[in-house]
């Protein structure tokens, strides 16, 4: 089928136009943020900056990079992203594996058990008390243990695993393989695309989170995270002060809008770098067809 | 099979172990002693700037006082949330200012009563008069916190008018030959006349004659003007009749009707920015920063710090875009109270010491030391020779470089340490020459003024922003009542009414201003407003007013 | 219908879960051992904090904590449901939840499928990388840009005036009728590329031979999308749809808060904003908890219903 039909040609043209429009619209806010981040803060207050900075400066970035504790924060953030992602991927994959076994006795109840957790939560104060009593406050563990299993990620993996033919499991069992072997040697290699997806979700979540650092490790600056340090910087330059005193505190030569823009760009960079590594798993397409039928 | 089981078992153990690993989290000693320097911790439930750990002035103060304090601030939470989790967890820093959630800390028994200690610390003792200390007493008779702000030492040195006013650009006044502008009608007439003669700025940008900030809690720029127009001071929530000692609602006064009707007329004439009620605070600041806006109502601190910098950077002050406050009332010949002199004691919050602090005496000694003149100068002026110079008369001054440096964010973090939520003074230094902080130093103030403002002040025979408005003493011992309305919660009928009134005003006042038929819109508004039961609110305010007067009588 | 989809359907209908016997337990002991660990974890971290729900029935005071606050029965719930504002807030939340769900959901699928049709490898990668970037912008940045774009002098008004659709600039934020669409658009703008990632990964699982077979049969692009791609990602679509049905009451907080103003507050306030205003900012945590319980109950009812519907139609389901 080398020759393309007219309908197909029309499709390709329309699709290309769609993609161009889509990219333009989604790229705009990012470029706008980039432009503001490279523009003088006081000047940016006037507005009217679109794609290019009006008054170039690196001051916004310098302000951020001079922040105290940034190195500690970056170290902890990288650590929590790596450990947190590995732990979460591993435990969600196991859970998904269990509930996607056709013969598993409690597959329905275990699924329900986790699905419910998506829609209920005890609120900030009870959770805080729990973590405190478990000794998770003022520790690194609070970043990687509580959020390890999530119903959402589990369901995404489960759906994928459900699509893998049972015949694979059955033939392995005939060869004497136990569930651990089936999970590690047979199912997991086929799940790379979905593992990559979940890893991306978890990693981004870990990378961006700061609320837990503030809530549980406020008194332990050695466990501060990058994003928490950025948030502190932001809220200190933000004009959200509700009194003359707060406003006096907030005054500097940088403004919230430009610092926020620079912080956003700095936050995005590592994710942009990480993405191509994961991308090959879901853009090129992994041929698992050979084993499917 | 064996191997696999082992593996599974191993993984299970690993998972369980990782669960438990956190449990050993060691309890941390809060008051560390490093080389004889006590280290305190503090949390302030307001957004603020964290300074670097090796901050230079902080070290200097530590050398003098033998103590320092690690300050943390509110980030991404409300004060109530932050304090709520703190109370639930039962762990506090040594010092705390709970902001809006101060009452919760008191109720939770988290604060140390300070009244037994105060006499031992001369600087703290001196900070308030007996009557003022008593005002800070809670219903159990103890003092738990020290309000840090609004305390004037010696002679007051007011230069800027920090509060609310009708502002107008210097160029408008200059164009009209610096006329006397005393009433709201004159104010808008002037703006209209100027706008007709000069619809654009020098570069052709169209002027915005008048804009109103209405974003969230900042809608005071729209709603509370009737209070000032009637010549009452900023009680924030009601007007107080000083003869009858009776609270009055400014939302329903005849002046309120006149004011909103005026706004309605001006809106129809196109004088009022059509985006007034939908603009965000950022957009509002952006508009002012372009120099396009001729006038508005706002509090100085809400716009001036960022807008003035931006105007100056663009050289717009040469075009006369700086803002001047005007002493406006509803009728001519009324006394205006836009500016009040003297200390304002807001008893609703302050700096407290928590029950988790192991060294209350040390903590109080630290507060005491921070109020000493040498340390106070370090906090607000900085290091002599670096942040300010002293002339032969002992007067402090800063060079332009020093001024720029002092506003640099990175420099602030690494060098300056104001301990800004610890007790502090404004007014005159104990040396009798200088102001307690640079902002109030007359010479500093004049050196920093732009020409358009100087010219304007000259024309009106004023030397400061305050002179433009005139000043009056605080009206009575109850002032300011907002320190009470701020603590109202929905658990009382009055608090419930107060919250509902806020919601209704937020929605209906813009509608009233934009209405085709003002009278109809006003009636609709009044109907909904009455449904909120404002009387319940006024009753509670009246009770508080009487309570405060009664308290005061004990001292006469 | 493709054979893969057929097979899946059959399996779901049959579900041969065996009876609980010792033999079966022994056979599955590895799975069971793991389950026990996972359940213990879940009880500790997800279910134990639900003890905090007691708060909703108390006059909770931080000083007394959960154990010593006075019980007041259903007072907090009564307060919520007797307030006309709360009912309006539920309406707003539901409306925005449904509109957002529908629009972001459809856009993500459409985008994933169309992106998959881009044959130039480089182009595909670039487009995808760009598409998910807005996800990393905070709402305050996005709403700031929206305000710019929709302002009186913004590009939208400019275009509408050039096209003579408007004769003077329209202030979009002053009219309640525009609020929900603006919120939906902002959600689509920010999250389409990000949400599409899941579908793209699901598409990779589709057997390429199915496309080849379809081509042999002379199917064009549309036909292949309709008969191969869509059925291939249908289980993923179903699962996400089911999950999101339970989330319609989580219509958001920040965006409405940032875009709202006094003139549109009757349509902009969501449950979360209401709770902050009347609960937390007044130091009343119990009210927030009560609203949270209400949301949870509605969510659970919704997903149980949705799950039953899915079950009846033999589709992928949550449990």
Q: Which residue matches tokens 């993500």? A: C108
Interaxial angle between packed helices A192-208 and A70-99, expressed in degrees from 0 to 180 and rounded to the nearest 10? 140
Residues 240-279 of C with CB under 8 A from A: 243, 246-247
Dihedral sign, Cα of residue A88, residue A89, residue A93, residue A94: negative
Is C10 part of a structural domain of the chain?
no
Task: List the alpha helices (DSSP H) in chain A.
Answer: 6-37, 41-44, 59-65, 70-99, 107-119, 124-133, 141-144, 151-162, 166-174, 179-181, 188-190, 192-208, 211-216, 226-237, 244-250, 256-282, 289-292
Do C88 and C206 belong together in one domain? yes
Q: Are B207 and B198 in contact (CB under 8 A)?
A: yes
> Which runs of E-coded beta strand occur in B21-83?
33-34, 37-44, 67-73
Interaxial angle between packed helices C230-245 and C285-312, expressed in degrees from 0 to 180 and rounded to the nearest 10? 150
Q: Look at residues B550, B475, B410 and name the one whose alpha carbon lies nearest to residue A252.
A: B410
Domain total in chain C: 2
Spatial distance between the Cα atoms of C224 and C231, rounded to a whole number of angstroms: 10
pLDDT attached to residue C14:
46
% of chain A surpassing 70 pLDDT: 88
Please check whether residue C176 touches B, CB under 8 A: no
User: For residues C229, C233, C234 and C235, what is the CA-based torsion angle, rounded to 10 degrees?
Assistant: 150
Interaxial angle between packed helices C285-312 and C271-278, expressed in degrees from 0 to 180 and rounded to the nearest 10? 160
Token pair recorded at residue C261: 């103003």
Spatial distance between the Cα atoms of A151 and C46, rounded to a whole number of angstroms: 11
Do C219 and C296 belong together in one domain? yes
Do C219 and C107 belong together in one domain? yes
pLDDT attached to residue A274:
77
Question: Which candidate from B5, B407, B420 shows the least CB-CB separation from A253?
Answer: B407
User: For residues C218, C221, C226 and C230, what is the CA-based torsion angle, rounded to 10 degrees?
Assistant: 120
Q: Look at residues B526, B556, B555, B552 and name the one whose alpha carbon lies nearest to residue B245.
A: B552
Per-residue pLDDT band at B486 (split at 50, 70, 90) = confident
Is C184 part of a structural domain of the chain?
yes
- pLDDT tens for each residue of C60-114: 887 788 888 889 989 889 988 988 888 999 999 999 999 999 999 999 999 999 9
Does residue A270 register a pLDDT over 90? Answer: no
Does residue B19 register a pLDDT over 80? Answer: no
Q: Answer whether C262 sits within 8 Å of B78, measured CB to CB.
A: no
Q: Do domains B30-71+93-155+347-443 and B164-342+458-469 have the same CATH topology?
A: yes
- pLDDT tens for each residue of A35-89: 999 998 878 877 788 889 998 889 889 888 888 888 999 999 999 999 999 999 9
Domain around C43: 21-73
Domain at C174, CATH number:
1.10.3720.10
pLDDT attached to residue B439:
84
Do C66 and C195 belong together in one domain? no
**Strand B95-97 vs strand B37-44: parallel, antiparallel, or unpaired?**
parallel
Q: Which chains, if any, share at least 3 CB pairs under 8 A with chain A?
A: B, C
Question: Which candidate from C37, C61, C143 shows the least CB-CB separation from B107?
Answer: C61
How many residues are present in chain C?
319
* Range with lowest mean pLDDT among A9-23, B34-48, B220-234, B368-382: B34-48
- Distance from C154 to chain B by nearest Cα, in Å? 12
| Residue of higher predicted confidence among B18 and B149 | B149
| Residue of higher predicted confidence among B251 and A276 | B251
Question: Which candidate from A5, A102, A108 shows the least CB-CB separation from C220?
Answer: A5
Spatial distance between the Cα atoms of B362 and B177, rounded to a whole number of angstroms: 60
Do C62 and C148 belong together in one domain? no
Q: Which residue matches tokens 């909103």? A: B260
- pLDDT tens for each residue of B189-248: 999 999 999 999 998 889 999 999 998 888 999 999 999 999 999 998 999 999 999 999
DSSP characters over chain C = --HHHHHHHHHHHH--PPP--HHHHHHTHHHHHHHHHHHHHHIIIIIGGGGGGGGGGEE--TTTHHHHSEE-TTHHHHHHHH-HHHHHHHHHHHHHHHHHHHHHHHHHHHHHHHHHH---HHHHHHHHHHHTGGGGS-HHHHHHHHHHHHSTTSHHHHHHHHTTS-SS---GGG-HHHHHHHHHHHHHHHHHHHHHHHHHHHHHTS-HHHHHHHHHTT--HHHHIIIIIHHHHHHHHHHHHHHHHTTTT---SHHHHHH--GGGHHHH--HHHHHHHHTGGGT-HHHHHHHHHHHHHHHHHHHHHHHHHHHHTT-----
What residues does B326 pair with on adjacent strands?
B166
Spatial distance between the Cα atoms of A41 and A59, rounded to a whole number of angstroms: 8
Q: Answer whether A62 sits within 8 Å of B282, measured CB to CB.
A: no
Phi, psi of A272 (to 5 degrees): -60, -35
Is C318 part of a structural domain of the chain?
no
% of chain B surpassing 70 pLDDT: 94
Please check whether residue B409 touches A, CB under 8 A: yes
Phi, psi of B71 (to 5 degrees): -100, 135
pLDDT attached to residue A253:
56
Per-residue pLDDT band at B35 (split at 50, 70, 90) = low
Token pair recorded at residue B416: 């300056």
Chain B residue with CA closest to A61: the answer is B410
- Distance from C84 to chain B by nearest Cα, in Å? 12
Q: Look at residues B155, B171, B52 and name the one whose alpha carbon lies nearest to residue B413.
A: B52
> Which range has highest mean pLDDT (A26-30, B4-8, B372-376)?
B372-376
Cα angle value B194/B198/B201 (rounded, 5°): 120
* Range with lowest mean pLDDT among B4-8, B105-109, B354-358: B4-8
Per-residue pLDDT band at C53 (split at 50, 70, 90) = very high
Per-residue pLDDT band at A3 (split at 50, 70, 90) = low
Q: Answer whether B407 sits within 8 Å of A220, measured CB to CB.
A: no
Does residue C200 register a pLDDT over 50? Answer: yes
Chain A residue with CA closest to B404: the answer is A253
Q: Which superfamily, per CATH, for B30-71+93-155+347-443?
A: Periplasmic binding protein-like II (3.40.190.10)
% of chain C surpassing 90 pLDDT: 48
Q: What are the C-alpha distances in Å from C204 to residues A156, A158, A197, C198?
A: 14, 16, 12, 10
- pLDDT tens for each residue of A139-178: 999 999 999 999 999 999 999 999 888 888 889 989 989 9
Per-residue pLDDT band at A247 (split at 50, 70, 90) = low
Q: Are C38 and B11 in contact (CB under 8 A)?
A: no
Q: Which residue matches tokens 């750990």? A: B53
> Which range has highest mean pLDDT (A235-239, B15-19, B326-330)?
B326-330
**Strand B164-169 vs strand B246-248: parallel, antiparallel, or unpaired?**
unpaired
Is C5 part of a structural domain of the chain?
no
Peptide bond into B174 cis (omega under 30): no
% of chain B surpassing 90 pLDDT: 64
Please check whether residue C73 touches B, CB under 8 A: no
What average pLDDT is seen over chain C? Answer: 88
Is C1 part of a structural domain of the chain?
no
Does residue A243 register a pLDDT over 60? Answer: no
Do C62 and C93 belong together in one domain? no
Q: Which CATH number fits domain B164-342+458-469: 3.30.565.10, 3.30.1370.110, 3.30.930.10, 3.40.190.10?
A: 3.40.190.10
- Residues from chain C that touch B279, judged by Cβ atoms under 8 A, are 147
- Tally C-beta pairs within 8 A across A and C: 265
Please check whether residue C124 touches A, CB under 8 A: yes
Q: What b/e sequence results for C189-224 when a residue is b if at least 16 CB atoms lie within 10 Å of its CB, and e otherwise?
A: bbbbbbbbbbbbbbbbbbbeebbeebeeeebbbeeb
- Residues from chain A that touch B19, judged by Cβ atoms under 8 A, are 145
Spatial distance between the Cα atoms of B12 and A280, rounded to a whole number of angstroms: 32
Spatial distance between the Cα atoms of B311 and B452, rounded to a whole number of angstroms: 12
Per-residue pLDDT band at B353 (split at 50, 70, 90) = very high
Q: Which burial class, exposed, middle or buried, applies to A17 when counting CB atoms under 10 A from its CB (0-12, 13-18, 19+)?
A: exposed
The ipTM estimated for the assembled molecules is 0.88
- Residues from chain B that touch C62, judged by Cβ atoms under 8 A, are 83-84, 87-88, 104, 107-108
Count of CB atoms situated within 10 Å of the CB of B405: 18
pLDDT attached to residue B12:
47
Mutation target for B interface from A42, A70, A259: give the one with most B CBs within 10 A.
A42
Average pLDDT (B513-536) is: 96
- pLDDT tens for each residue of C267-314: 999 998 888 887 766 667 888 889 999 999 999 999 999 999 998 988
Do C220 and C101 belong together in one domain? yes
Token pair recorded at residue A226: 């990058």
Do C265 and C287 belong together in one domain? yes
Is C12 part of a structural domain of the chain?
no
* Range with lowest mean pLDDT among A280-289, B131-140, B393-402, B453-462: A280-289
Do C117 and C249 belong together in one domain? yes
Q: Which residue matches tokens 């009233």? A: B512
Helix (H, G, I), strand (E, B) or coil at B390: strand
Q: Look at residues B197, B228, B465, B452 and name the one whose alpha carbon lies nearest to residue B320.
A: B452
**Strand B67-73 vs strand B145-146: parallel, antiparallel, or unpaired?**
unpaired
Is C171 part of a structural domain of the chain?
yes
Spatial distance between the Cα atoms of C234 and C241, rounded to a whole number of angstroms: 10
Please check whether residue B19 touches A, CB under 8 A: yes
pLDDT attached to residue A122:
85
pLDDT attached to residue A285:
45
How many angstroms from the chain centroid is the CA of residue A175? 39
Domain range summary for chain B, segments of one domain joined by +? 30-71+93-155+347-443, 164-342+458-469, 482-553
Please check whether residue A120 touches C, CB under 8 A: yes
Is C8 part of a structural domain of the chain?
no
Q: What are the C-alpha distances in Å from B112 to residues B96, B109, B356, B359, B487?
A: 11, 8, 9, 11, 21
- pLDDT tens for each residue of A97-108: 999 998 899 989
Work out the end-to-end distance of chain A between its first and last CA atoms, rounded to an integer number of angstroms: 24
- Distance from A264 to chain C by nearest Cα, in Å? 7
How many residues are present in chain B?
556
pLDDT attached to residue C9:
47
Rg (CA), chain B: 27
Q: Are A37 and A262 in contact (CB under 8 A)?
A: yes
Average pLDDT (B76-103) is: 88
Q: Are B444 and B202 in contact (CB under 8 A)?
A: no
- Residues from chain C that touch A200, judged by Cβ atoms under 8 A, are 197
Write down which residue in C73, C92, C117 finishes a domain: C73
Do C125 and C52 belong together in one domain? no
Does residue A293 register a pLDDT over 70? Answer: no
Q: Are C229 and C109 in contact (CB under 8 A)?
A: no
SS (H, E, C) C160-184: HHHCCCCCCCCCHHHCHHHHHHHHH
Please check whether residue C171 touches B, CB under 8 A: yes
Spatial distance between the Cα atoms of C57 and C59, rounded to a whole number of angstroms: 7
Spatial distance between the Cα atoms of A106 and C20, rounded to a whole number of angstroms: 9
Does residue C186 register a pLDDT over 70? Answer: yes
Q: Answer whether C299 sits within 8 Å of A47, measured CB to CB.
A: no
Q: Which burial class, exposed, middle or buried, applies to B312 when counting CB atoms under 10 A from its CB (0-12, 13-18, 19+)?
A: middle
pLDDT attached to residue A216:
92
Average pLDDT (B69-87) is: 87
Please check whether residue C80 touches A, CB under 8 A: no
Does residue A249 register a pLDDT over 70? Answer: no
Count of CB atoms situated within 10 Å of the CB of B422: 20
User: For residues B173, B178, B180 and B184, what is the CA-based torsion angle, rounded to 10 degrees?
Assistant: -10
- Residues from chain C that touch B532, judged by Cβ atoms under 8 A, are none
């Amino acid at each position: 089928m080398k020759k393309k039909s007219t309908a197909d040609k029309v499709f390709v043209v329309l699709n290309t136009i769609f993609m161009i429009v889509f990219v333009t619209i989604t790229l705009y806010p990012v470029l706008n943020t980039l432009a503001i981040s490279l523009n003088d803060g006081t000047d940016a207050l006037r507005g009217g900056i679109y794609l290019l900075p009006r008054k170039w400066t690196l001051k916004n970035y310098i302000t951020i990079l001079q922040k105290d504790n940034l190195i500690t924060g970056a170290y902890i953030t990288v650590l929590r992203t790596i450990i947190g992602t590995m732990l979460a991927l591993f435990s969600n994959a196991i859970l998904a594996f269990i509930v996607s076994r056709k013969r598993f006795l409690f597959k329905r109840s275990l699924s329900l058990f986790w699905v419910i957790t998506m829609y209920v939560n005890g609120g900030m104060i009870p959770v805080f008390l729990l973590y405190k009593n478990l000794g998770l406050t003022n520790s690194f563990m609070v970043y990687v243990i509580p959020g390890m299993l999530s119903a959402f990620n589990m369901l995404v993996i489960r759906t994928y695993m459900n699509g893998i033919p049972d015949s694979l499991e059955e033939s392995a069992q005939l060869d004497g393989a136990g569930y651990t072997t089936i999970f590690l040697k047979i199912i997991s290699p086929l799940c790379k695309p979905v593992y990559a997806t979940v890893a991306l979700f978890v990693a981004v979540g870990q990378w961006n989170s700061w609320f837990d650092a503030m809530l549980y490790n406020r008194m332990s600056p050695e466990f501060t995270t990058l994003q928490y340090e950025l948030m502190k910087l932001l809220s200190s330059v933000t004009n959200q002060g509700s009194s003359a005193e707060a406003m006096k505190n907030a005054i500097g030569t940088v403004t919230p809008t430009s610092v926020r823009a620079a912080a956003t760009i700095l936050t995005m960079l590592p994710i942009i770098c990480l993405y191509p590594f994961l991308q090959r798993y879901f853009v090129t397409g992994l041929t698992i067809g050979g084993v499917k039928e | 099979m064996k191997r696999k089981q082992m593996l599974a078992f191993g993984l299970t153990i690993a998972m369980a172990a990782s669960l438990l690993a956190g449990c050993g989290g060691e309890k941390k000693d809060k008051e560390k002693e490093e080389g004889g320097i006590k280290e305190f911790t503090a949390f302030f439930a307001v957004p603020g700037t964290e300074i670097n750990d090796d901050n230079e002035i902080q070290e200097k103060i530590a050398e003098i006082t033998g103590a320092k304090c690690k300050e943390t601030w509110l980030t991404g939470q409300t004060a109530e949330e932050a304090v709520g989790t703190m109370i639930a967890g039962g762990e506090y820093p040594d010092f705390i200012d709970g902001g809006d959630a101060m009452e919760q800390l008191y109720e939770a028994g988290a604060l140390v009563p300070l009244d037994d200690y105060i006499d031992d610390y001369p600087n703290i003792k001196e900070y308030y008069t007996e009557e003022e200390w008593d005002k800070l007493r809670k219903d159990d008779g103890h003092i738990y916190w020290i309000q840090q702000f609004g305390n004037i030492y010696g002679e007051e040195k007011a230069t800027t008018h920090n509060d609310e006013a009708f502002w107008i650009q210097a160029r408008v006044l200059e164009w009209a030959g610096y006329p006397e502008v005393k009433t709201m009608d004159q104010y808008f007439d002037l703006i209209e006349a100027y706008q007709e003669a000069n619809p654009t700025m020098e570069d052709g940008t169209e002027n915005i004659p008048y804009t109103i900030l209405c974003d969230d809690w900042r809608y005071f720029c729209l709603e509370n003007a009737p209070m000032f127009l009637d010549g009452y001071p900023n009680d924030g929530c009601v007007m107080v009749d000083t003869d009858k000692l009776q609270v009055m609602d400014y939302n329903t006064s005849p002046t309120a009707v006149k004011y909103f009707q005026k706004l309605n007329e001006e809106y129809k004439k196109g004088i009022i920015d059509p985006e007034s009620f939908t603009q965000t605070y950022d957009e509002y600041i952006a508009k002012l920063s372009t120099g396009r806006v001729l006038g508005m109502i706002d509090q100085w601190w809400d716009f001036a710090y960022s807008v003035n910098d931006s105007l100056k950077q663009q050289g717009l002050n040469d075009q006369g875009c700086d803002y001047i406050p005007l002493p406006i009332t509803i009728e001519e010949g009324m006394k205006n109270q836009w500016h009040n002199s003297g200390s304002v004691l807001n008893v609703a919050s302050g700096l407290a010491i928590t029950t988790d602090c192991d060294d209350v005496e040390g903590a109080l000694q630290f507060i005491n030391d921070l109020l000493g003149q040498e340390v106070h100068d370090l906090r607000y002026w900085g290091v002599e020779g670096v942040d300010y110079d002293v002339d032969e008369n002992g007067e402090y001054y800063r060079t332009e470089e020093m001024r720029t440096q002092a506003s640099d964010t990175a420099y602030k973090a690494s060098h300056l340490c104001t301990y800004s939520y610890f007790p502090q003074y404004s007014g005159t230094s104990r040396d009798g020459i200088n102001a307690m902080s640079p902002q109030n130093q007359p010479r500093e103030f004049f050196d920093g003024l732009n020409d358009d403002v100087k010219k304007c002040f000259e024309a009106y025979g004023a030397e400061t922003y305050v002179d433009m408005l005139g000043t009056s003493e605080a009206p009575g011992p109850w002032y300011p009542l907002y320190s009470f309305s701020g603590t109202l919660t929905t658990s009382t009928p009055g608090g419930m009414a107060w919250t509902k009134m806020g919601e209704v005003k937020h929605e209906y006042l813009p509608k009233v201003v934009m209405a085709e038929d003002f009278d109809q819109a006003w009636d609709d508004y009044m109907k909904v407003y009455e449904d909120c039961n404002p009387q319940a609110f006024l009753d509670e305010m009246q009770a508080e007013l009487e309570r405060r007067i009664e308290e005061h009588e004990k001292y006469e | 219908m493709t054979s893969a989809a057929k097979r899946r359907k059959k399996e779901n209908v049959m579900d041969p879960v065996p009876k609980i016997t010792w033999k079966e337990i022994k056979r599955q002991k590895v799975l069971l051992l793991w389950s026990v660990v996972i359940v213990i974890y879940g009880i500790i971290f997800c279910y134990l904090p639900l003890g905090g729900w007691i708060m909703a029935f108390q006059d909770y005071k931080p000083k007394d904590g959960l154990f010593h606050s006075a019980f007041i029965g259903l007072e907090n719930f009564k307060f919520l449901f007797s307030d006309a504002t709360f009912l309006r807030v539920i309406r707003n939340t539901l409306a925005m939840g449904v509109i957002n769900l529908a629009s972001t959901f459809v856009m993500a699928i459409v985008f994933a499928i169309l992106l998959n049709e881009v044959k130039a490898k480089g182009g595909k990668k670039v487009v995808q990388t760009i598409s998910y970037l807005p996800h990393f912008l905070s709402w305050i940045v996005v709403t700031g840009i929206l305000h710019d774009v929709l302002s009186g002098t913004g590009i939208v008004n400019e275009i509408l005036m050039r096209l003579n659709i408007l004769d003077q600039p329209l202030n979009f934020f002053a009219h309640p009728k525009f609020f929900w669409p603006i919120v939906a658009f902002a959600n689509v703008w920010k999250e389409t590329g990000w949400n599409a990632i899941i579908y793209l990964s699901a598409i990779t699982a589709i057997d390429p031979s199915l496309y080849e077979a379809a081509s042999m049969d002379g199917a064009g692009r549309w036909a292949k999308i309709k008969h191969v791609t869509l059925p291939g990602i249908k289980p993923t679509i179903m699962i996400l749809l089911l999950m999101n049905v339970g989330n319609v009451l989580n219509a958001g907080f920040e965006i409405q808060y940032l875009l709202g103003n006094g003139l549109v507050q009757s349509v902009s306030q969501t449950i979360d904003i209401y709770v902050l205003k009347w609960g937390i900012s007044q130091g009343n945590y119990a009210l927030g908890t009560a609203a949270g319980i209400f949301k949870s109950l509605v969510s659970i009812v919704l997903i149980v219903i949705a799950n039953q519907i899915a079950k009846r139609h033999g589709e992928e389901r949550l449990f």
